[in-house]
Structure 1
């Protein structure tokens, strides 16, 4: 082998050895980088940007339970960057995922804010993103769970409430059949059957009405609604009921006020409150309907001087099928849905319903709705009315409900 060949072989050997050494060095460097990344507490590139963009509460915690990155929705839960993860349940989730080394999911109740904030139901998913860093993502499912519970309660309550009149109709039908040869008895059973059928029809109609209101899409075409017309229609609808019960309905307060919404739904809401006031009032008493505007809010107050509502029942009277006085409700055919319908109808119009009551003194239900300006064609009439009222101070007194009284 001549010198040229020896030089070539040496060159090739040098290149091979140099390449091998370079490969070893590169591999070593990469292994070092991976090792450093594994033990690093620095958040990987892009993770912080993703956290700041998501709508769920999410944090990255290190091995000492320190929060090194957090999304904005995590702050109300007390999870902020630089702070220690204080919640014991979340700390346990982090320990669990570090032990099993696979993503885990838990459902927890975590308080959102300081006391007296209520605990929120959240689904927590924990994932390890390095040997020292763990990602926690929390999704608040409180409202979803609440809606689902309402649906289950509604189905259960409806089934229970329908069972009574359906069973009564069935028994009375059998009684009529067995008393076919006794016409007077048949008439008695038939009268009771008609009453139960009416109760069943009323209950079914109210259930359907409440379902439509809860769906939130019953107001197809809103318009300017005269509060005077709503109140007058509701009073007229229950004039016979009031007369039969020996109750006098008085209307007072401001005139010419307007709100935005569905006049039929609003009239039914006011009518339900008037009907309840009549039912729970003693004979020869009165029910007052007062209307006034306060800071661009129209208030319609229905006041009775009846038995009143105990303080423990006041928070629940707007629940479906809840009856503060079950015995009276059975006698009057009450379904326990009237106030629930009122609440949802008014909320659908952007308003609220308030209650004041004292046992033995009576109750005042106040509907509050956003006020709107009177239509153009009504403005001249209102100006004339105001001028007339100034000239004639002996007119009708304004009815203002205060602590259950109409003054």
Structure 2
């Protein structure tokens, strides 16, 4: 057996706890007696295991030569141009000298897309009886790091957002106590306390809703929902807000489309889109709602003629607590959770939410939910033709 074959066997045994060594040994015995005519050789199996392993694997010797590595080791930056990464080699040197395992982080600079940004590496002797080789295992911890960063951001954001109305209510309560002899002042500060309390209550309600949508609780059983009913209920919920802002909301004709989902959640999502359009539109401007069918999905589009959203902000508007215009949002009592809820409602209905926007022109948010096809409507074309005839 060559050095490379021995290294392969040792690596696989180390990864799988020696079980493969025994199994391959038995397979070799069977092949030697002619009992097994399989095409794969033992080296083929070893090579496949190492090459397709989900972790990076590399073996180096005391001369800094990379004896063996797999594609994942290159993807994670453990090996570059057939050379071991400098920090990994320093750790390997320590292991060669001390014969004791070493752990290290191979964190890279922030990257675009889904490239690994956090890599954990374990370095240990390959064989106790052979001091020449060291094996390095690299694990991609990027998703864990991203989730931890998201959790920290969420805790920081929610702490700040909850502290703001609570602090305001404390100051307003103090002002109330100092104005007990002035009914007009008491009424003014009382209304302000009520406004902040409502804002705090809305935020807690939306946080609970968001928690449910993200998997803390199972969604209710889905049912066939009439899209026109969803639009009508959302309009009813936002009518007073639109009137107070002097916003005119117009809609297209009823479509008759149906989707499979949770009516309450869909109404909440559409209500959030309409309220968002109202909040970021100048007084007297229109907001329109339209229904259409796109590639097997019902598209409910909410269009405003407001301030629009800069391109660099468009991917972030669905993040929790992100606000394009913080001053305007706080003035209107926004929680910064509305669009995040819309995103998760869409995802839980196997749909999506899209955005088109241009600063100074306006924005269009489109909620896309798979259409429910009833009996006798075999495909999207038949359904669309039937609606067109009915209109």
Q: Partner residue of 1:274?
A: 274
> Which residue of structure 2 lines up, in the alignment, with residue 123 of structure 1?
120
Shift of 1:281: 1.4
Q: Secondary structure at the match of 2:166?
A: helix
- 1:228–1:115 Cα change, 3 Å: closer
Return the offset for 1:385: 9.5
Encode CA deviations 1:163-189: one digit per residue, 9 max, x unaligned.
Answer: 121112112222222222222222222
C-alpha contact 1:301 1:365 (8 A) present in aligned 2: yes
Equivalent-residue separation in structure 1 for 2:115 and 2:386 (angstroms): 53
Match of 2:105 in 1: 107
Change (3 A) 1:41 1:356: same
1:376 alignment partner in structure 2 = 375
Report if aligned partners of 2:356, 2:364 keep a CA contact under 8 Å in 1: yes
Q: Which residue of 1 aligns with 2:91?
A: 93
2:232 corresponds in structure 1 to 232
User: Deviations 1:330-358 (Å, cap 9, x if unpaired)?
Assistant: 21111111112212222233332222111
Unmatched runs of 5 consecutive residues or more in structure 2: 17-48
CA distance in 2, matches of 1:342, 1:261: 14
* Shift, 1:116, TM fit: 6.7
C-alpha contact (below 8 Å) 1:297/1:368 kept by paired residues: yes
SS of 2:118 mapped into structure 1? strand
- Cα distance, 1:105 vs. partner? 0.4
TM-score computed with the length of structure 2 as normaliser: 0.78
CA deviation after TM superposition for structure 1 residue 317, in Å: 1.7
Residue aligned with 2:307, SS: coil
Query: Are positions 1:349 and 2:346 aligned together?
Result: no
Q: After TM superposition, what 4+ stretches of structure 1 lie above 6 angstroms from structure 2?
A: 382-385
For 1:312 and 1:385, how far apart are their aligned partners in 2? Answer: 36
* Deviation, structure 1 residue 372: 4.0
Q: Which moved more, 1:337-346 or 1:85-94?
A: 85-94
Q: What SS is found at the alignment partner of 1:133?
A: strand
Q: How does 1:245-394 map to 2 (within 5 A)?
A: 245-252=245-252, 255-369=255-369, 371-376=370-375, 389-390=388-389
Alpha-carbon distance change, 293 to 137 in structure 1, aligned in 2, over 3 angstroms:
same
Trace 1:127-276 onto structure 2 (pairs within 5 A). 127-129=124-126, 130-215=130-215, 217-252=217-252, 255-276=255-276
Please report how far the alpha carbon of residue 270 of structure 1 lies from its aligned counterpart in structure 2 after TM superposition: 1.4
- Pairs aligned (count): 350
The answer as to whether partners of 1:106 and 1:124 remain within 8 angstroms in 2 is yes
Of the structure 1 ranges 154-163 and 311-320, higher mean CA displacement relative to structure 2 is found in 311-320
TM-score (norm 1): 0.75
Distance 2:383 2:139 in 1: 59
Secondary structure in 1 aligned to 2:374? coil
Instruction: State the distance in 2 between where 1:239 and 1:307 align.
Output: 21
Change (3 A) 1:79 1:87: closer
CA distance in 2, matches of 1:316, 1:87: 35
Report how far residue 41 of structure 1 moved.
7.7
Q: CA deviation at 1:254?
A: 7.8
Deviation at 1:89, TM superposition (A): 3.6
Q: Deviations over 1:155-211 (max 9, x none)?
A: 111111111211121122222222222222222221221112111111222222222
**Rg (Cα) greater in structure:** 1
Aligned Cα root-mean-square deviation (Å): 3.4
